Amino acid sequence: LLQTRALRIIEEQLMDDDLEELSSESDVALFRSASNFRLAELSMQKQDLSDARKYFSKSINEMPEAPWSLRAEDMLEQLESLR
């Protein structure tokens, strides 16, 4: 339950700077992965495809078994096709 709440906060409430800090300093791989995935989504919204690629990759590398990893892999493939 606590983990679910934390993930919801990452997805809905944290700003870029907080997500950056969490992605590099959290002791919990799940939270690092989630924050990188969220940073990738925000980068996509800003049309910063280079950062989006970077954050999707980091999200997958942090925790390949995370529920969002398949989505991150799909997004990376789409971004690569745009090159």
Round to whole Å and give the CA distance between 60 and 37.
8
The pLDDT tens digits for 44-61 are: 999 999 999 999 999 999
Q: Are 66 and 79 in contact (CB under 8 A)?
A: no
The residue with tokens 């495809």 is 49
Tell me which residue of 23, 21, 11, 18 sits closest to 59, measured CA to CA: 23
- pTM, two decimals, is 0.94
CA distance 42 to 16: 8
- The tens digit of pLDDT for each residue in 18-50 reads 999 999 999 999 999 999 999 999 999 999 999
Chain centroid to CA 43: 10
